[in-house]
Amino acid sequence: MSQPSEPILQIEDITKIYPGEGKSTTVLDHISFDVYKEFLCIVGPSGCGKSTLLRIIDGLDKPTGGQVVFHGQPITSPSPKIGVIFQTFALIPWKTVLGNVLMAISSTSIQKEEQLKIAQKYIQDVGLEGFESSYPKELSGGMKQRVGIARALALQPEVLLMDEPFSSLDALTAENLRREVLDIWRDPAYPTGSVIMVTHNVQEAVEMADRVIVLSARPAKIVDDVKIDLERPRSPRDPALYDLADRIISKIS
Amino acid sequence: MHVPRPSLRKRVTTASAGKTASLFTKIFLSAIAVVTIGALIIDLLTGGLTPNCQNNPLDPLCIPGYAIRTLTRMTIAYAFALGFALTYGIATAMSHRASHVLLPLLDIFQSVPVLGVVPVVFLIILGTGANPPVFNQEVASIILIFTAMAWAPTFGVIAGINAIPTDIKEAAHAYGMHGAKYLRQIVLPAVFPELVWSSILAWGGGWYLIPVEEHLAFGSPPNQTQVDLPGIGRYIALAALKADLGLALFGLVVLVGIILAIDRLIWKPLGTRAEKYKYETVAAPRTTATRQSSVVAGVRRYEDRLVSPVLTFFKSERSYAGRVLEITRLKRIRHITERLRFPERISRIPLWGRLLSYAIFVGLVILGLIVTIMSRSQSIESGISLLATDVTGFGLVAITVLSLSRLVIAYAIALSWTLGAGILIARSQRLSRLLVPIFDIGQSIPATALFPLVVILLVNPFKNSPYLGFTLNLASVLLILTGMQWYLLFNIVGAVNGVPNDILEATTAYRIRGRRFVKEILIPASFPAILIGSIQAWGGGWNALIVSEYIGPNANVPGLGSFLVQASSKDPALATVEIYASLLVMTATVLIINRMVWRRLLRKADRYKFEA
């Protein structure tokens, strides 16, 4: 995928320090990279601060130093042009599938009837047609995450952030959902250009991403930035993927 | 490289199983010993509280002696309550068939407003004479405190035994643990934590009675039976009778001091200890969320410039509220009542069990009635025929409706202020720092102890004013409010604190803030807690109702509570019948409201719970 010269997101010198009693903990140590129209994965060992970084990018958390720039504007609070998908789904238990998806766009200036149409469209797109009035408790894990995806897509975001979106799912469900997310992202009908996915599953990262940013253990620094130019759709059993995964794993450990 | 979702693993921390239980027993027994010996010494030193304290019962120097008398009564009652709880609880939990009757019966017992039982117990135990023997008075008093204390620990024992994981039971069985050994090594340690939590509730219930039952009069002046037991409750009651605001406040402060001291010195350490002995089902740490929480401590304080006001604010504030709540007993109370009051099994009781339990309850009431009548040598016929002339069925319904409307008004006030305050406390560090300790003390005051203050402030000044009717109703509603509000408040605070982080982040990411955040997230999230709090609040409200409606012969408002109190001063036979009648009406109303309103709503509340 060709990269236009103008980056969509610029992560500029992000540092995150948690001050503690006596000693403070540095979680993110001067992280900088640009995000273009691409599928970007951030991998790193457990607890290295990947998720904190993702939260800082969305404006959910505040960096101790540095800034995130989105189309030339520093991010200070969650933007309606950025959608988020959570590891634990984060669905409101007392809202129906439709209600949970509507929630994402309810703060926008879109007309109510239009909101409803958009929500219904994305519920269909993720394959949940007929489940609009179900409650999250009645759904399987995979279906819950589909709601999470529909909710993020309903914003029609330019950037989609995913925090370990498949790690709460069983292997088979995760595999299917990965493929569907890639299909949606590659479909020109969707406005989402950039995806940033945080994961500790290296295999998953090399299978899905155009580019993988590898973080070290805490305090996290960028130890590698790997371009993956393999044809899509990719086969999970492609030996080239294993080579890449090995390279990344050797950097982490 | 796929890492499967961490599965739930069960962790059992039973250091040395029997040790805690025996420690508890030791502490408890030595507490009894200390109190008893102390009481004896003080009695000897003060000459049995006689000369000075009998002539001048309001002398502040008598307070230590009074406190010890009251504490002794409560400790004895608590010992009986513990014994009852263990026997009844173990019987219920061990025998499936027995539980079909014992559980609903227990549920009926705890629905009886304790203060309504006061006249009944005194009727049965005290003779008809003007000065019943002190021993009988003491026995009656201890029985009453027992009825206030017994139910919560019993539910605690049942909940504790039910919480023993199946694998532990199977392991115990496989290693040949039976009978007494199983009881000592598995059941008692499992029961211990719940027993500690529920004991806090039990003592709260006991304290509630103290200001009422130590100084009481029955019957009309020529044949008046006077209950007069030296104690801290009587001190407050006497101060109120003399309209001495200073002394009433002094007694109140001492009472609250004792309650708080017992809480900090006994329940808090025991509770901390008990936590370690719980069978826990712990989810293995998730990669991110829990990782962060290891560094949580310092994070919050330094986030001065708010990125996302709602989220950052909320995150730091609620952790503070959580910490403040940790040191208060309110959190523990919330925890225990939530688990105990409505064991899920109650809804699965077969019909025969429920019917049988009602039959047993009615049988007990009839037995009580017969005993009362026989002990006072009255004819039941004359009582019932007099009842017809004194009050009609319609009249009984009318006063029930009047009392209910007072409860509803108090409930509406309580719910509206606690919902606002609960959300504010959970969201603002400064407010929770300021208010939680105040509320902690406020809720430790037994509502009955505030009664004298209300009399002095709201009733006495208006004795000859045309507004008396209004101020009396106001006083009644205020007293009911004090019996209701704390349950709601702390349930709501707990619920708002319990909204999971990922939900907070999602609502922030999708920019749901301000009024919408409160309406769409916080209030629905509090819904189950509001229901639990409401059930408890109505229980407290019914109790308060009984003292709140009748202040004196010239200062009362019509209602079930004042009907009950006034009944005791009527013709003896009539009194007996009316006291039982009003107690039955009250219990029936409580049970009907619980079944028709709260439980029905509670079943709907499942949707509003966050998934673990």
Q: In this structure, what DSSP letter does residue B294 have?
A: T
The DSSP bridge partners found for residue A194 are A159
Choose the closest CB to B607 out of A86, A94, A174. Answer: A94
Pick B10-279's CATH classification: 1.10.3720.10, 1.25.40.10, 2.160.10.10, 1.10.287.80: 1.10.3720.10
State whether ipTM is beyond 0.90.
Answer: no
Q: How far apart are the first and last CA of chain B?
A: 26
The angle, 0 to 180 degrees and rounded to 10, between the axes of the packed helices B188-213 and B232-241 is 30
Question: CB contacts < 8 Å between A and B, how many?
Answer: 130
Which pLDDT does position B223 carry in this prediction? 63
Interchain CB contact of B287 with A (< 8 Å): yes
Which pLDDT does position A145 carry in this prediction? 94
Higher pLDDT, B134 or A113: A113
Q: Where are the domains of chain A?
A: 1-78+211-229+236-253, 82-156+159-192
Side-chain half-sphere of B11: how many Cα atoms within 13 Å? 9
Higher pLDDT, B544 or A37: A37
| Arithmetic mean of pLDDT over chain A | 89
Residues of B in Cβ contact (< 8 Å) with A87: 286, 288, 502
Side-chain half-sphere of A73: how many Cα atoms within 13 Å? 9
Give the residue on B whose Cα is nearest the Cα of A148. B506
Interchain CB contact of B519 with A (< 8 Å): no
Q: Do the two domains B10-279 and B320-342+378-608 of this chain adopt the same fold?
A: yes
Torsion angle defined by CA atoms of residues B289, B293, B298 and B304, in that order, rounded to the nearest 10 degrees: 30
Which pLDDT does position B217 carry in this prediction? 72
Which stretch of DSSP H or E encloses residue B540? helix B523-548
Sign of the four-CA dihedral A193, A151, A59, A141: negative
B308/A168 touch (CB, cutoff 8 Å), yes or no? no
Residues of B in Cβ contact (< 8 Å) with A92: 503, 506, 520-521, 524
Q: Which residues lie below 8 Å from residue A215, measured CB to CB, with a gap of 6+?
A: A31, A42, A43, A44, A45, A48, A49, A50, A53, A221, A222, A223
Distances (CA, A) of B385 to B126, B276, B365, B390, B577: 25, 60, 19, 9, 10
Choose the closest CB to B302 out of A19, A55, A136. Answer: A19
B287/A200 touch (CB, cutoff 8 Å), yes or no? yes
B286/A88 touch (CB, cutoff 8 Å), yes or no? yes
| Arithmetic mean of pLDDT over chain B | 74
Which pLDDT does position B300 carry in this prediction? 32
Give the class (CATH, top level) of B320-342+378-608: mainly alpha
Side-chain half-sphere of B72: how many Cα atoms within 13 Å? 21
Please state, in angstroms and rounded to a whole number, the distance separating the CA atoms of residues B433 and B436.
Answer: 6
pTM metric for this prediction: 0.76
Q: In this structure, what DSSP letter does residue B235 have?
A: H
Closest by Cα among B483, B479, B460, B459 to B471? B459
What's the Rg (C-alpha) of chain A?
A: 18
Q: How confident is the model at residue B218 (pLDDT cuts 50, 70, 90)?
A: low
Q: Where are the domains of chain B?
A: 10-279, 320-342+378-608
Choose the closest CB to A203 out of B1, B507, B524. Answer: B1
Return the percentage of chain B with pLDDT > 70, whole number.
74
A62/B302 touch (CB, cutoff 8 Å), yes or no? no
Contact present, A174 and A141 (Cβ < 8 Å): no
Contact present, A7 and A71 (Cβ < 8 Å): no
Which of B287, B520, B526, B601 is most worth mutating to test chain A (most A CB atoms within 10 A of its CB)? Answer: B287
Pick A82-156+159-192's CATH classification: 3.40.50.2000, 3.20.19.10, 3.40.50.2030, 3.40.50.300: 3.40.50.300
Give residue-wise pLDDT tens across range B496-550: 877 888 898 899 888 888 888 989 999 998 888 888 788 878 888 888 888 788 7
Which of A15, A88, A208 is most worth mutating to test chain B (most B CB atoms within 10 A of its CB)? Answer: A88
A1-78+211-229+236-253 in CATH: which number? 3.40.50.300
Residues of A in Cβ contact (< 8 Å) with B289: 88
Give the residue on B whose Cα is nearest the Cα of A24. B298
- Is B303's pLDDT higher than 60? no
A76/B307 touch (CB, cutoff 8 Å), yes or no? yes
A87/B292 touch (CB, cutoff 8 Å), yes or no? no
B521/A92 touch (CB, cutoff 8 Å), yes or no? yes
When pLDDT is averaged across residues A42-66 and rounded to a whole number, the result is 89
Which pLDDT does position B589 carry in this prediction? 87
